[in-house]
Amino acid sequence: MGKVVRGKDEVSVLLVMLFLASTIPSVPGGAQVLWPPLTESNSWIEDIPTVWDFLPFGVVHQLVNNTIKTTPDPQWGLQCFIYVGRGESRDGRELIIQGILPIKGATWNRIWFNGKWHYIRTVSPMYYDNGTLFPYNVTVYTLGEERGSISYDARGEKRRWIFRLVNERKNITLDVIGYAKGIPYWMGKPEGPYLIHGAYWSRPDFDVWGGFFDTGVFNATLVTRDGTYHFRGHFLFDRAYHRSYYEPPPSGAPLSFTCLFIFNDEFHLRMCHSDNPSPLEPPVKFQHQGRINFLKTGQSFRFDDYEFTDDGSIQPRSYHVKGKFEGGELDLYGRAYMFWPQVWGKGRNVWWDPKGVRTWGRAFIRWKGEIKLGNRTMEVEAHGIGEFTRYKTTAKCCVGISVDGKGYAVPETDCNPGEEANVVISLLNCDDAGELVDLYIDKPPNWVLEIEAEPSRPRVLPDLRVAVLYERVVDRMHIHLNRTVDDVIQILKETDTDFILRGWWRWSPMPERCEDLPPPDDQRCEMAGYSYEHLREALSKIKSEIPDVVFCGAIPAQRITRKVVWNPITWEVYEYPDTWEMALDPGKWGIPISKEEFQCWWAKEQYWLPEDFDCTNYDPQEVSAYFPDITNEEFQELLLSWAYKQIDCGVDAIWIDMLFRQALLMYQMTWSFDHIAVKESYNAAAKIVDEIHEYGLNRGKYVYVGTWTPFIYYPYPPPDLDFVTLTPSSKEVREMKLNEHKWNTVISAVRSKLGGIPIIVFIDWAATKETPLGVFSQELSKEEQREFLEILDEFCKERGVVFAYPVHGGHMGMDAEKLSYGLFKVYDSLAPEFQTYDKIKELSSMRSDWKWWDKWIKLGDWNANGVPDFFLGPMDSKEIRVRVKPPRYTPPSRAILSMVAKAEVTELPPDTILIGNKTCSDTTSLETEVMETHGVTISLQNSFSITKGYTLPIQVEVMNCGNVREEVEVGFEKPEFNGSYLHCSISSGTGVLLSDERGPIRTISLLPMESSRMIMNVFAPSDIPSGIYTGSVYAYYSGGRVESEITVLVLENSIDNQPPPGFTHGGEGKQIGKKRRQRTLKFD
């Protein structure tokens, strides 16, 4: 079978994690040997079925008291004895046969005649006859008032399949004699290998099958109460042996298969194709094979090179088959004219998708098209019978909106800065379709809205637009290519980088300074730029030039070196055998595998030992490294020290490779989430995340922590991660096509567990070139690399995840042949062998140019309709903070702000049924009360001079700067100097006296923003002393009193009436008064 997981393909790993413990036979410790062997195609088999193929006693069946049973092997499943066909009578009556005999239980046989179905129920046991009761080689039959039999006559040149059904109660008898033609279609011989027919919907396992379809022409006689009828047509006999691959089979048809029999008098085409809708990674590809027989020429060809499509619905009605075979090619289009059942029943409870819908049914199809056979072209009109299972996840457009917050606002006025109504709008995507949500707020005219995205977590990474992978920012290229840190900074600036992934990678023990190592290690260290001093200096330069960039360092949780390793915080050194003590031993939890066996297996997986190494010879003193035990407290301290040291050097984030790999391996060995080994390994990994957070906070900064995603399916509280990483598989890179369903499933699971944390995708690597980066660099051409970068970037943007562009770094494989600059097995986008850097700059510029709604809000206007919008993943939620400002001088009132969240389904996986409309909306409203604000201002010339014996008129302006009508009384305090006073009065512009020395006489009424101009007459008597007199003008209003001081210089008659130098005029007095009513908040 080979290895299921190579390198660190974590997207595959997280799917394998739950379900494929037994698919890793290379894991020592007694993993079962799986039977039968599997293959991708058996269409090469050209055998004529024998009696033993029909009834493989000893392998599939056994004979017990002349009844046919399956062997005690509990993994045998459905055993098919199915006879289907279609024919016509001479007068054009149609006959359709759906026959099936039961080996256990009961089955319904269906006969279509005269426009309706006739039913015959056959009941087990199934009996066996080898020529005693029936004149044929072998017969299987049932007994009772309703009964059936299938006989195989393999004697002579013509092999015959004879089918008989009887319903004594309804006086119905059907006799069919089928003459097989050509080479059968083989799913597999009884002893194997078998094909994968589909994935079980009820639990994680595969249905595999062997057997054959034998097809030909038939003559049939149907006897009913109304008469006897004769038919000629085409039949298919299905003798399939089904079994489950891992554990005893559940009930229900596997998903998702298509089996077709297309026929006319010229040809018989048999084909089966299956898609894997589950996240379960199969040992081999699902079946995709066919065989075509030409009845008149006797030719037969394999037909594996084809494409099958249908209309994509859960009960497809139209179909297309196009492909080539050795003798020619065909192109056929089909359309169903009848179904069984007419509407396929739909079930739920799919194990990987609680909302998934599954179905099974048959279709009776008319086909048209063209077949080319050699130099001959046939225009085809044919019939067909198809059996299908389909799976679709269901989703509907569903969005909810609600508001909370302060429901009152104070308008801005000339004497009041105002106060916004602050509300929080909560939006929810309440189903499993990804939705683009537009936020509409219907506000009164001229009101101002300021919108700010509220983070879904208390701590989030800054908005990531552009991430790059650059491992490491100082490495061998700084010597060999003279690429300095300044050059790296220039690259980061050219790509508008926000996040540097794996900017520093600690794989083996790293010194503080290279000079701390003895020769020649010190020189090798300097050449590699591999010291904490290099990291500190590089980070200092990068941060000085790009202060907001997030620099992410990286450490491994899957490796501890044997010979020596140290803690860079305490500088405690560990050597063998202390390092061996920290190595993982599954046996400590009672798992039946020795420490040596496990460590040997892991070393071979990582290529630390040859693949053919005999583990009985494993010696821990001879290997380079071990897989450490993350539950070991000493290793925990060591792993954390590697992170702490990078934090002390200035990194902003830590990415931990394979942090949850031990929990995964323990699950694969125990197959139980309740096993203590799984729980302790998971909790230890989660604790590492918390400890790094705490260390950063103790040093005054928040450190972001990320890793791969295998934890998402564990039924435990999720780790407190700040970001996660995913990678395309090697297959996806090679085919330059991404598995949308798989990615959507994983992304949804991440968001369900961790909310809206960033998901960063990068092209991962490991020891050999059989990895995503190995395939990308070694198999794809320069042009294909650039094309795949564009494909992956667009794919990520559509799902709201960030693609970390492969600028520099990543091991292309120890067997890599295409090297960067002809020297390095490290990928570099600027190398002439790859030349992807310009494409990366192009893609990053498009990401950095995203349109944001405004300077507060990090919501784009993706659909360019002038309304802020954003993507909500399945069951995702967002909080949006909105500040509502009424226009200046808005009077006290109540305003209704209608809020609408309008969603459109934009991300629907291919195997998903959309229920209802593509768009939906939800509404709410907030009643905001505009509060009263009170204020009056007095404007006048605050300082002036007057000559004794004269009267000076001074203009005074009183303005209502509130938002309500005010009744204002204006008065004055007489200017005074050393006990002497000036005489004053205030009159309106029309001469009406408003105030005299006794105080205000009349009030003036002012509307909001209205002002009144008046005259203040100031008289200086002749007998008062010269000097500087001070007084004030005041006004009473509902908010209190406001006043403005005045200063008067009184001059003698003989003195020039000019103020002395430095004596100025002008000024204004203000007082602000506010009154708030109790706030009112209304929800609809």
* 147-161, 732-746, 880-894: range with lowest mean pLDDT: 880-894
* pLDDT over 90 percentage in the chain: 67
Residue 251: its pLDDT value, please? 76
| Token pair recorded at residue 431 | 């189903």
Neighbour count for residue 1066 (Cβ, 10 Å): 9
Q: How many residues does the chain have?
A: 1084
Name 995's bridge partners: 986, 1000
User: How many other C-beta atoms lie within 10 A of the C-beta of residue 770?
Assistant: 17
Say whether 743 sits in a helix, a strand or coil: helix
3-state secondary structure 126-161: CEEECCCCCCCCEEEECCCCEEEEEEEECCCCCCEE
Q: What would the mean pLDDT of 191-207 be, rounded to a whole number?
A: 94
Question: Taking 50 as the threshold, does the pLDDT of residue 1082 lie above it?
Answer: no
Give the H/E segment covering residue 990.
none
d(CA 958, CA 936) in angstroms, rounded, equals 7
Could you report the per-residue pLDDT of 19-53, keeping only the tens digit for each?
333 332 332 333 344 678 999 999 999 999 999 99
Query: Hey, CA dihedral for 529, 533, 538, 541, is it positive or negative?
Result: negative
Amino acid of residue 1048 = V
The whole-angstrom separation of Cα 615 and Cα 6 is: 19
The token pair that represents 578 in the structure block:
């202390």
Cα angle 988, 991, 997 (rounded to 5 degrees) comes to: 70
Name the residue with tokens 């070139």.
Answer: 769
Give residue 818's pLDDT: 95
Quick one: average pLDDT of 598-622? 93
Q: Residue 79 corresponds to which tokens in the numbers above?
A: 């055993």
451's CB contacts (< 8 A; 6+ apart) are: 439, 853, 854, 856, 857, 859, 868, 880, 881, 882, 883
C-alpha to C-alpha distance for 389 and 256, rounded to whole angstroms: 5
Beta bridge pairs of residue 371: 330, 378
Sole residue written with tokens 């001959």: 376
Look up residue 522 and give its amino acid: D
**Residue with structure tokens 């027919």?**
197
Q: What SS3 state is found at 3?
A: coil
> How high is the pLDDT of residue 555?
97
Q: Half-sphere exposure of residue 537, counting CA atoms within 13 Å on the CB side?
A: 12
pLDDT, greater one: 744 or 101: 101
Distance CA 1035, CA 1042 (A): 5
Most confidently modeled range among 443-447, 475-479, 875-879? 475-479
pLDDT for residue 243: 94
What is the distance between the alpha carbons of residues 54 and 50, in angstroms, rounded to a whole number?
A: 6
* Mean of pLDDT over the chain: 86
Residue 789 pLDDT grade (very low, low, confident, very high; cuts 50, 70, 90) = very high
pLDDT tens readout for residues 369-379: 999 999 999 99
Give the number of other Cβ atoms within 10 Å of residue 1021's Cβ.
12
CA–CA distance, 180 with 300 (Å, rounded to integer): 13
- Angstrom distance (rounded) from CA 561 to CA 564: 6
Q: Reduce the DSSP state of residue 684 to 3 states and report it.
A: helix
Instruction: Kindly state the tokens that stand for 342.
Output: 């007419």
**pLDDT for 421:** 77
Q: Which residue has the higher pLDDT, 892 or 1005?
A: 1005
Overall average pLDDT of the 889-916 stretch: 74
- Tell me what pLDDT residue 567 has: 95
Least confident window among 222-231, 641-650, 874-883, 1028-1037: 874-883
CB 993 within 8 A of CB 900: no
**Three-state SS at 570:** coil
Percent of the chain surpassing pLDDT 70? 88
Backbone angles phi, psi at 176, to 5 degrees: -125, 125
In sign, the C-alpha dihedral spanning 340, 346, 347, 352 is positive
Residue-wise pLDDT for 111-162, tens only, equals: 999 988 999 999 999 999 999 999 999 999 999 999 999 999 988 778 999 9
3-state helix, strand, coil in the chain (%, to 5): 15, 40, 40
Tokens of 244: 């489950």
Under 8 Å between Cβ of 1019 and 970: no
Q: How confident is the model at residue 18 (pLDDT cuts 50, 70, 90)?
A: very low
Q: Which of 321, 310, 323, 390 is nearest to 357 (CA)?
A: 390
Question: Shortest CA distance to 266 belongs to which of 243, 288, 293, 230?
Answer: 293
Q: Taking a C-beta distance cutoff of 8 angstroms, is the pair 684, 677 a contact?
A: no
User: How does pLDDT run across 239-255, given as a tens digit for each residue?
Assistant: 999 999 988 888 788 99
CA distance 808 to 384: 55
Lowest mean pLDDT among 187-191, 276-280, 448-452, 915-919: 448-452
pLDDT (mean) for 792-797: 91
Strand partners, 933: 1074
pLDDT mean over 494-517: 94
Residue 1064 tokens read as: 């100025």
User: What DSSP line would sit under 879-910, residue for residue?
Assistant: EEEEEEEPPTTPPSEEEEEEEEEEEEEEE--T
Asked which of 269-273, 274-278, 423-427, 828-832 is least confident by mean pLDDT, the reply is 423-427
Radius of gyration for the chain, computed over Cα atoms and rounded to the nearest angstrom: 42
